């Protein structure tokens, strides 16, 4: 009896010596397709399991990292808020002291002379706000520029960049300088803290606006000098670092609100 058309096998037969012999039975095309699908399905399932496992592992690591860093972030924010409050209190106390000194200087001519000299020293030390014409330097990380992994460090702002820009302003005759509204004086500190930069103990992130009050032509000449800021200018042209110097009028530079006492380490 011959197999029915619905059979999953197909039979190949031929006559040999007058008899009908069954030679082979081979899988039907339908079964071959099923086996082929299974061969493709198993690797796909395994790949999906691996991707899911990796995603869950990364998610757990990210969650643990955020959970671990959360107290540190809260502590840093609290310290920054406390520092800002202390600076505000210090500025208020200095303003009250100035008022007392002015009232005292109005009583005698000698006191007036002392007050005038004191005001000059305060201005030199950066303890009084100043306004005037000058230049503004804009410094920023490279934006929308594709750089190689080895050039990433050259496309972002560093504390040394701010220090070089400030020193160039002093060379150009600047009378008062501020970085993002933070007054810079001789005792100011500028250094990196992770991905941010700290100026006078205040954390900052790019972009940076460095305002310098002084003779505009002299300041512009200092920044245009090819011997000045060579590294910054090269990174601007190659890696796309943001760097621009413009004239500005009616610049306001606030008074320095940081600590005045300087502590030095001594070897034992």
Listed residue (131, 94, 101) closest to 115, CA to CA: 101
Closest to 243 in 3D by CA, of 255, 253, 228, 254: 228
pLDDT at 143: 83
DSSP character string of 112-181: HHHHHHHHHHHHHHT-S-EEEEEEEEEEE---S----GGGGGGGS--HHHHHHHHHHHHHTT-SEEEETT
Among candidate residues 225, 143, 214, 215, the one with its CA nearest the CA of residue 178 = 214
Beta bridge partners of 22: 13
Average pLDDT (17-25) is: 47
Q: Are 29 and 22 in contact (CB under 8 A)?
A: no
- 115: helix, coil or strand? helix
Of residues 243, 247, 224, 245, the one with CA closest to residue 134: 247
Token pair in block for residue 104: 């005292």
Domain ranges of the chain: 130-253
- Spatial neighbors of 3 by CB under 8 A, at least 6 apart, are 9, 10, 11
Which residues, other chains included, contact 156 with Cβ-Cβ below 8 Å and sequence gap of 6+? 141, 142, 206, 241
Per-residue tokens: 194: 């992770």
Q: What's the CATH architecture for 130-253?
A: 2-Layer Sandwich (3.30)
Q: What's the pLDDT tens digit per position in 27-81? A: 555 555 555 555 566 666 676 777 666 666 555 554 545 555 677 777 777 777 8
User: pTM value?
Assistant: 0.63
Do residues 130 and 253 touch, judged by C-beta distance below 8 A? yes
Listed in sequence order, the residues at least 6 apart from 152 whose beta carbon sits closer than 8 Å to its beta carbon are: none
Contact yes or no for 126/228 (Cβ under 8 A): no
**Two tokens at 268?**
């034992």
pLDDT digits (tens, 9 = 90+) for 109-152: 777 777 788 888 888 888 899 999 999 999 999 986 666 666 78
What are the backbone dihedrals phi and psi of residue 160, each rounded to the nearest 5 degrees, phi first? -65, -30
* Region of poorest pLDDT, from 7-11, 100-104, 121-125: 7-11
């Amino acid at each position: 009896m011959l197999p029915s058309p619905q059979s999953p096998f197909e039979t190949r037969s031929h006559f040999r010596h007058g008899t009908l012999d069954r030679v082979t039975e081979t899988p039907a095309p339908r079964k071959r397709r099923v086996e082929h699908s299974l061969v493709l399905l198993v690797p796909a399932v395994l790949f999906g399991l691996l991707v899911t496992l990796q995603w869950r592992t990364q998610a757990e690591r990210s969650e643990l990292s955020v959970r671990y860093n959360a107290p540190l972030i809260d502590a840093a924010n609290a310290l920054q808020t406390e520092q800002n409050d202390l600076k505000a209190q210090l500025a208020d106390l200095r303003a009250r002291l100035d008022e007392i000194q002015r009232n005292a200087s109005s009583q005698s001519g000698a006191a007036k002379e002392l007050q005038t000299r004191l005001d000059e020293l305060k201005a030199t030390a950066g303890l009084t706000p100043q306004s005037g014409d000058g230049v503004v330097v804009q410094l920023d990380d490279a934006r929308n520029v594709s750089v190689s992994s080895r050039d990433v460090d050259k496309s972002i702002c560093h504390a040394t960049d701010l220090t070089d820009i400030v020193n160039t302003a002093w060379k150009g005759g600047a009378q008062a300088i501020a970085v993002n509204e933070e007054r810079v004086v001789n005792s100011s500190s500028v250094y990196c803290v992770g991905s941010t930069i700290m100026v006078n103990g205040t954390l900052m992130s790019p972009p940076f606006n460095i305002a310098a009050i002084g003779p505009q032509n002299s300041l512009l000449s200092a920044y245009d000098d090819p011997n000045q800021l060579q590294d910054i200018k090269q990174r601007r042209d190659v890696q796309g670092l943001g760097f621009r110097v413009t004239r500005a009028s009616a610049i306001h530079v606030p008074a320095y609100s940081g600590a005045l006492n300087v502590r030095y380490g001594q070897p034992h």
